[in-house]
Amino acid sequence: MLEYDIVIVGGGLAGSRAAVEIARTDNRLKVALVSKVHPIRSHSVAAQGGIAAALQNVDPQDNWLTHAFDTVKGADYLADQDAVAVLTQQAPQVIIDLEHMGVLFSRLPDGRIAQRPFGGHTHQRTCYAADKTGHAILHELVSRLFQYKVPIFEEWYVLELIVEEGEARGLVMFHIPTGRIEVVRAKAILFATGGYGRVFNTTSNDYASTGDGLCLAAMAGLPLQDMEFVQFHPTGLYPVGVLISEAVRGEGAHLINDAGERFMAGYAPSRMELAPRDITSRAIATEIREGRGVGGGRYVHLDLRHMGKEKILERVPFAHDEALRHLGIDVVYEPMPVRPTVHYSMGGIPTTVDCQALAAHGQVMEGFFAAGECSCVSVHGANRLGSNSLLECVVYGARAGASLARYVQDRRLPHVDEARHRRVAEQGIQNLLDQPGSLRIDALRREFQDTLTDHCSIFRDEQILKTGLEKIQQLKARYGDIRLDDKGKLYNTEITEAFELRSLITVGEIIVASALERRESRGAHSRSDYPERNDGEYLKHTLAYREGDALRIDYRPVDLSLQAVDPERFTPQARKY
Ligand SMILES: Cc1cc2nc3c(=O)[nH]c(=O)nc-3n(C[C@H](O)[C@H](O)[C@H](O)COP(=O)(O)OP(=O)(O)OC[C@H]3O[C@@H](n4cnc5c(N)ncnc54)[C@H](O)[C@@H]3O)c2cc1C
């Protein structure tokens, strides 16, 4: 059996930043990092627009408390204010630390780190590396993993989180190239497994964003928090769904409907194209629904032409390339077609501000931590502001590393029955290979993704959600009828796909069930039958527990501690832009 002090699952920004922090804090600790793809291929590498911090390089009026206020208001007051304070106070330091590691941020003429405007941020505070920020940061972090000699289990798929007697004890994983099973025990485990965009049929996320970590936590009996809050990014390139970064609007692009109008004037006059994402996505969906999509179609235009060729190629070269590559459109001369695309999961594994997972409200899970997009600490509440996610990964990734390095000092390796776990996992894979089903994985996945997209999209209501939940339960029952064409174990990607489909279905069901029970509209969760926010009943986090085949929904309170610092801004109030 493999044994480590700490095992990190996930090599994106959160996981690799945590590994770096552990190595810096106590280099005697035995740490390993597991990732189903090469760490550099984690979705973090695709992040484009930037990372927020009140550095005051462009805007000396900015400060952490205003950044915190923008975040809490953007979150429609559902964010935990203690967690937001940590995020925004530590932001400038983590950026400087990244710069010292060698991250190539774009510069102002005087050499300081440049900062651009971003949706929902009242000051110009988003640091960036052109529109390839994730690439720039992840490459530096992953090279640090090699520098600190962190063992990397690359192309290993984690299929079980072992939780016994109320504590996390280890993992079961299989090697994608060979099908070999390994059981690992550890004093503590960190999940940094990213998001679940692939639950839907159109997303900006990569193929590996299947919500595995969330599924494994739910299967181990942990609650998932605020899963009804799914972020739609306003500008997915139509029809492919790939992301056109908010940086494009940050640099001045306009959203235009069929009549040639900058329609955001009717939805968020003070912020226009730089309103928060939930509001901008609803505006685009409304324009399309009411027949003002371009040519009466299912998209609107993002127009960059007035920005001029030089600025477009210098500031947002990747967006320029994406439109040219996918659609043959040169945005210097033509507007590009866009519509909202599923982008980010606000919900996830609930944690303390020190990243330890919660087993229930007020009760931590021993041995288990989470950070990054799979966690819900919760700094994004009901709606995340652009450029706050990379920040969360770096701030809370480092924090998780520091907490873990402390936590394992006086903890022993737990007992794990290796033979039993290995036998169960091997039998499970053999059963998958042998099962005589009639359904292709791809067909069931597509049907499932279409169901989620039709029944839990930007606008929701009781009937749509209820029917969606029934359909999901029927699809779930058909999972046992999938058939693998490849019966071998070497590079059998169908085994991985079968496990990923289990994740999609588990996570998707929790999203819809949580959405059904929140009978109000808040942030990204918009109910046509309950159009108002209802603080009296719903200023609280949803906790969804999987119990056998059923789901149980519970709630926990929201932290409002910044109210004591600035009651005028941090007391929940109507959200206007
Ligand atoms: C196209 C795009 C652009 C974005 N742009 C920005 C931006 O400009 N600014 C911003 O703040 N945010 C942005 N975001 C959001 C941000 O990039 C992500 O939220 C963040 O990078 C997530 O990082 P992470 O470390 O939590 O997870 P990821 O980077 O997604 O990494 C997940 C890791 O978990 C591993 N993993 C998952 N499941 C398993 C398993 N079962 N077994 C083994 N390993 C597993 C994967 O291999 C991977 O290494 C963007 C997102 C997208 C999709």
* Residue matched to tokens 């609007």: 249
CB 42 less than 6 A from any atom of ligand 1: yes
Task: Provide, for the chain, the percentages of residues in helix, strand and coil under a 3-state DSSP scheme, each rounded to the nearest 5.
Answer: 40, 20, 35
Distance, CA 194 to ligand 1 centroid (Å)? 5
> In the listed set 341, 361, 379, which residue is the last one of a domain according to the structure?
341
55 and 183 both lie in a single domain: yes
Residue 450 above 90 pLDDT? Answer: yes
Please give the pLDDT value at position 276: 92
9 and 53 both lie in a single domain: yes
53 and 158 both lie in a single domain: yes
Question: Which residues, in sequence order, are CB contacts of 9 under 8 Å at separation 6+?
Answer: 15, 33, 34, 35, 158, 171, 189, 190, 191, 192, 193, 213
pTM of the model: 0.97
> In the listed set 293, 320, 341, which residue is the last one of a domain according to the structure?
341
312 and 360 both lie in a single domain: no
284 and 297 both lie in a single domain: yes
42 and 136 both lie in a single domain: yes
Residue 241 above 90 pLDDT? Answer: no
Coil/strand/helix, residue 245: coil
499 belongs to a structural domain: no
569 belongs to a structural domain: no
225 and 172 both lie in a single domain: yes
DSSP 510-529: HHHHHHHH--S-BTTBEETT
Rounded Cα–Cα distance for residues 137 and 398 (Å): 14
**Average pLDDT of span 402-426:** 97
574 belongs to a structural domain: no
Report CA 80 to chain centroid distance, whole Å: 17
425 belongs to a structural domain: no
Going by CA atoms, what residue is nearest to atom 6 of ligand 1?
Answer: 47
In terms of Cα–Cα distance, which of 112, 341, 102 is closest to 232?
A: 341
Please give the pLDDT value at position 230: 98
CB 34 less than 6 A from any atom of ligand 1: yes
Residue 394's region, left for phi above 0, alpha for psi from -120 to 50, else beta, is alpha
Output the CA–CA distances (angstroms, integers) from residue 303 to 185, 253, 396, 453, in the order listed. Answer: 53, 6, 36, 27
**Average pLDDT of span 523-534:** 97
Which CATH number do you get for residue 281? 3.90.700.10
> In the listed set 361, 390, 407, which residue is the last one of a domain according to the structure?
407
Rounded Cα–Cα distance for residues 121 and 67 (Å): 7
- Structural domains counted in the chain: 2
Residue 291 above 90 pLDDT? Answer: yes
Atom of ligand 1 nearest to the CA of 39: 49
Rounded Cα–Cα distance for residues 293 and 287 (Å): 6
The answer to whether the beta carbons of residues 393 and 44 sit under 8 Å apart is: yes
Which CATH number do you get for residue 13? 3.50.50.60
CB 92 less than 6 A from any atom of ligand 1: no
337 and 356 both lie in a single domain: no
548 belongs to a structural domain: no
Atom of ligand 1 nearest to the CA of 156: 43
The answer to whether the beta carbons of residues 223 and 541 sit under 8 Å apart is: no
pLDDT confidence bin for 142, thresholds 50/70/90 = very high
Distance, CA 387 to ligand 1 centroid (Å)? 13
Please give the pLDDT value at position 372: 98
Average pLDDT, the chain: 96
Domain that holds residue 139: 2-229+346-407
Residue 297's region, left for phi above 0, alpha for psi from -120 to 50, else beta, is beta
Residue 106 above 90 pLDDT? Answer: yes
* Tokens read off for 39: 């760490």
Please give the pLDDT value at position 296: 86
Distance, CA 17 to ligand 1 centroid (Å)? 13
Distance, CA 20 to ligand 1 centroid (Å)? 17
Going by CA atoms, what residue is nearest to atom 5 of ligand 1?
Answer: 47
pLDDT confidence bin for 549, thresholds 50/70/90 = confident
Please give the pLDDT value at position 484: 96
355 belongs to a structural domain: yes
**Average pLDDT of span 202-223:** 97
CB 14 less than 6 A from any atom of ligand 1: yes
**Average pLDDT of span 52-57:** 98
Instruction: Show which residues are catalytic.
Output: 277
Angle between helices 13-25 and 133-147 in degrees, nearest 10: 40
293 and 367 both lie in a single domain: no
214 and 320 both lie in a single domain: no
**Average pLDDT of span 297-315:** 95
pLDDT confidence bin for 387, thresholds 50/70/90 = very high
**Average pLDDT of span 186-204:** 97
CB 194 less than 6 A from any atom of ligand 1: yes
325 and 372 both lie in a single domain: no
Residue 69 above 90 pLDDT? Answer: yes
**311: how many CB neighbours lie within 10 A of its CB?**
14
470 belongs to a structural domain: no
214 belongs to a structural domain: yes
Rounded Cα–Cα distance for residues 223 and 202 (Å): 27
218 and 274 both lie in a single domain: no
